[in-house]
Structure 1
């Protein structure tokens, strides 16, 4: 196959990944607590051809000796960008939004692979019956159980009268009998978002097959570390997707895609001309 075709084909496949990332960002522009992904690219291996046998004849040359042929580019990373999204007031007791960009709630998810722990910025919480008429469980909009500082689901017992979420992430449930039940919401501070895996719109997980430890990627804010928590009740965080930027990036990638496709067409035409020479 023509070298130009190989290079262009390699790059086309990687540009498709960037298109997918941009499309996912745009699709989640209205998803609460969503964090956009940003892709970066690196060149594939470059082949060096030393076509000049006598380097002495190259004295005064302004460019490096030989010929370098590339093989296209590859997407090296798709990283979560944890910039703070704007806050919108809802005046709802079960809505909470972080005011620091690195903080995430801890939730429990369940799928065909089993039960696992995930992390989200979506603070739109709800109460759902547990099957016991005297108990209510705190969950997200997707039905995932919200965990406390001990990684246990938050279960509120008794007849509920009022709910208050403090700045440091403490949930206080006032009962009709005057008693108060308190929980510390499970919160982590993610230091290295590049190691986190996105499993749905606003849910992140920590892959267990990486050669890093959990404490290198995020800190669990318990005990004295809870003073680092900063959230506000009655508000939700919008996504940090800038729609105008995403559309500009989309146009640029489409132009690059067209350029690589045109390179394949030109290489095919050149091969046809060579094969037609008699």
Structure 2
């Protein structure tokens, strides 16, 4: 197998990952609060041949010395794009939409390893019975929404009305006239590239987080106390996905053309090998 085949094969496997990312973006165009990912590439290791023995002849050269042969490209990062999505009015009191970028709700998720705090941008909340005259505030998948102390939110009695102010304070008025109030747990994401998709529109820390030598406070800022004034929430509305179908289709076609080019390189290299083998 010659160098052309190796380079093209390496790149093809990485282009397939980019196609998967684009396909996932397009599949979630109608998912509330979904944030698209964007693939970026970098070079694989290259081999350098220093064919110029007289270094004095290389003075004032603008390009690297010698001859460099690459081995293809690899997917460097599938970066999470946290730009604001369109907001649509629903007139449902438990629907909320962030009006500021890089903010996420905290969600308590039950995993095989136990309870774990994860994060979501989807502000569609529901009530789930957990006992006699007690309701839990949950996501559409049944995960508990937590307050600023990371405790699940439980509403007792019979709720009549709900109010959520722009700073994330949930006030529940009951049929007997009593009131319960909770501060929804909200974080500001400083480094979204560290977030890993956990499925069902949830994000969490990567499994190798302990080896990254990055503090949790560098990735998130808990919006508590005076920082709650920085929260931006709109009630009776939901944030749509920030996926632009026109852009995704353009990226898809460009990636497909690149994929075809790499495949064509393998075919041409195979023809060249055939010609060489046919020489007598």
* Alpha-carbon shift at residue 159 of structure 1 (Å): 1.5
Deviation at 1:63, TM superposition (A): 5.6
Match of residue 170 from structure 2: 171
1:1-278 matches, cutoff 5 A: 1-54=1-54, 64-130=64-130, 132-207=131-206, 208-209=209-210, 210-278=212-280
Secondary structure at the counterpart of residue 263 of structure 2: helix
Whether contact under 8 Å (1:119, 1:204) holds in the other structure is yes
Shift of 1:136: 0.3
Give the deviation of 1:162 after TM superposition. Answer: 0.9
Q: Give the distance between the partners of 2:196 and 2:50, measured in 1 at CA.
A: 43
TM-score under structure 2 length normalisation: 0.94
Structure 1 unmatched runs, 5+: none
* Structure 1 residue 243 displacement after superposition: 0.4
SS in 2 for 1:78: strand
CA deviation string 1:149-183 (max 9, x = no partner) = 01011000012111111111001111122110000
Shift of the alpha carbon at 1:61? 7.7
Q: Secondary structure at the match of 2:193?
A: helix
Structure 1 contact 34–201 (Cα < 8 Å) conserved: no
**Alpha-carbon shift at residue 268 of structure 1 (Å):** 1.1
**Over aligned residues, Cα RMSD in angstroms?**
1.7
What is the deviation of 1:133? 1.8
Whole-Å separation in 2 of the counterparts to 1:164 and 1:76: 44
Shift of 1:89: 0.2
1:148 counterpart SS class: coil
Q: CA shift at 1:55, angstroms?
A: 5.1
Cα drift, residue 202 of structure 1? 2.0
Distance 1:106 1:59, change over 3 A: closer
Post-superposition Cα deviations, 1:206-247, rounded to whole Å, max 9, x if no partner, equal: 223332111000101111111111111000000000000000
Distance of aligned partners of 1:268 and 1:90 in 2 relative to their CA distance in 1, 3 Å threshold: same
In the alignment, structure 2 segments of 5+ residues that lack a partner are none
Q: For the residues of structure 1 that align with 2:4 and 2:95, how far apart are their CA atoms?
A: 55
Question: How far did 1:115 drift?
Answer: 2.1
C-alpha change, 1:125 and 1:155, in structure 2 (3 Å) is same
3-state secondary structure, aligned to 1:92: coil
TM-score with structure 1 setting the length: 0.95
Distance of aligned partners of 1:237 and 1:275 in 2 relative to their CA distance in 1, 3 Å threshold: same
How many pairs does the alignment contain?
277
